[in-house]
Amino acid sequence: MKKIIVPIDFSEHSEYALKTAAKLAKKNNAEVLALHMLEMSDIMLTASDGLQYEKAVYFYKLSEQKFEKFLDKDYLKGVKVTPIIKHFKVFSEVNEVAKIHDADIIVMGSQGTSGAKEFFIGSNTERVVRNSEIPVLVVKNQVKDVNFEVVVFACDFSEETIKPYINSVNMFNKIGSKMYMVYVNLPNERFLTSAEMERNVVNFFTKALGNLDKMETVHYVADYTAEEGIINFSNKIGADLIAVPTHGKKGLAHFFEGSVGEDVANHAALPVMTFKI
């Protein structure tokens, strides 16, 4: 982990993300790329008349000053921070910045839920998660420790989740995390017998690892929703992080059809890291 992107909108939650990124950077001797999306209209950006151009320059300079002040934090001392201001209007383009700079991970803050209002669904965080080709770490509050000693990887053990599983194993093995896998059995048309679940797991590990050595890391839980099962299991074992595979622009993997991945990131108090299928 050498480069960490943090989208900044000057909110409290983007500062949570920045603090988390700083801790990761110090732990891995990495660089933080602080990204601010300057949302200007195409008309203003391409205007040829003097007034519109002056407005564009004014807002750009104002954003630069605000950005510089926001990044003047004690917890960033000793961390290489590169501020980046882009004229993008949509957060889905954060992935383009990640590719240009060869970043390893995106750390992003999210407000989560506020009463009945679902902030994450359709939010900038959701757009970043859906479009990112690299892992995205979603945080909603202060993260005290980034060691992530205990990690829960939620999985349906389909073949398409093999790639994100291997990527997560490679990442968490490097930091010495203990990784549990969880499958949530639901009381509906997706209900599986014990024999069916075990058959899927055997097939998964045979194709992913070529052996069944990790069978003991798998836990089966029954719950009314996949989201509740994942969060309840994670809380029960004292997890530090929940990892989920995502399907990018096409939505989430079969196990996460609908909005389970978003729901987990929305309601879990724990940090959530996504890995693209």
Please name which of 256, 187, 185, 247 lies closest in space to residue 222, comparing C-alpha atoms. 185
Residues 69 and 194 in one domain: no
Please calculate the CA angle 82-85-86 and round it to the nearest 5 degrees: 130
Identify the pLDDT of residue 120: 39
Distance of CA 37 to the CA centre of its chain: 18
Where does a domain end: 110, 139, 168? 139
Q: What is the Cα–Cα distance from 24 to 111, expressed in whole angstroms? A: 21
Residue 144 lies in a domain: no
Residue 77 lies in a domain: yes
Identify the pLDDT of residue 173: 93
Residue 126 lies in a domain: yes
191: pLDDT strictly greater than 60: yes
Q: What would the mean pLDDT of 108-123 be, rounded to a whole number?
A: 54
Residue 98 lies in a domain: yes
Residues 80 and 175 in one domain: no
Residues 107 and 187 in one domain: no
Residues 155 and 118 in one domain: no
Residues 15 and 117 in one domain: yes
Q: What is the Cα–Cα distance from 159 to 168, expressed in whole angstroms? A: 15
Residues 135 and 161 in one domain: no
Domain count, the chain: 2
Identify the pLDDT of residue 259: 55
Contact criterion met (CB below 8 Å) for 233 and 152? yes
119: pLDDT strictly greater than 70: no
Residues 133 and 156 in one domain: no
This prediction's pTM: 0.86
Identify the pLDDT of residue 164: 93
pLDDT tens, position by position, 83-102: 998 876 566 678 889 999 99
Q: What would the mean pLDDT of 60-77 be, rounded to a whole number?
A: 89
What is the bridge-based pairing of β-strands 272-276 and 136-139? antiparallel
Identify the pLDDT of residue 269: 87
When pLDDT is cut at 50, 70 and 90, the band that residue 146 belongs to is very high
Between 25-34, 188-197, 234-243, the lowest mean confidence (pLDDT) is in: 188-197
Residues 10 and 101 in one domain: yes
Q: What is the Cα–Cα distance from 110 to 38, expressed in whole angstroms? A: 19
Residues 135 and 157 in one domain: no
Residues 154 and 226 in one domain: yes
**Domain extent at residue 183:** 150-276
Q: What would the mean pLDDT of 108-136 be, rounded to a whole number?
A: 67
90 vs 110 pLDDT, higher one: 110
Dump the DSSP string for the chain.
Answer: --EEEEEE-SSHHHHHHHHHHHHHHHHHT-EEEEEEE----HHHHH--SHHHHHHHHHHHHHHHHHHHHHT--GGGTTSEEEEEEE--S-GGGHHHHHHHHT-SEEEEE---EETTEESSTTSHHHHHHHH-SS-EEEESS--------EEEEE----GGGHHHHHHHHHHHHHTT-EEEEEEEE-SSTT---HHHHHHHHHHHHHHHTSS-TTGGGEEEEE-SSHHHHHHHHHHHHT-SEEEEEE-GGG---GGG-TTHHHHHHHH-SS-EEEEE-
Identify the pLDDT of residue 203: 97
Residues 104 and 173 in one domain: no
pLDDT tens, position by position, 170-185: 999 999 999 999 999 9
Where does a domain end: 87, 111, 139? 139
Identify the pLDDT of residue 129: 82
When pLDDT is cut at 50, 70 and 90, the band that residue 248 belongs to is low
Residue 108's CATH number: 3.40.50.620
Residue written as token pair 């949509």: 90
Q: What would the mean pLDDT of 186-213 be, rounded to a whole number?
A: 93
Q: What is the Cα–Cα distance from 158 to 262, expressed in whole angstroms? A: 19
Non-local CB neighbours of 57 within 8 Å, separated by 6+ positions: none
Residues 22 and 99 in one domain: yes
Q: Which residues pair with 35 in a beta bridge?
A: 7, 84
Q: What would the mean pLDDT of 185-196 be, rounded to a whole number?
A: 89
Identify the pLDDT of residue 62: 82
Where does a domain end: 139, 160, 194? 139
77: pLDDT strictly greater than 90: yes
Q: What is the Cα–Cα distance from 24 to 164, expressed in whole angstroms? A: 21
Residue 145 lies in a domain: no
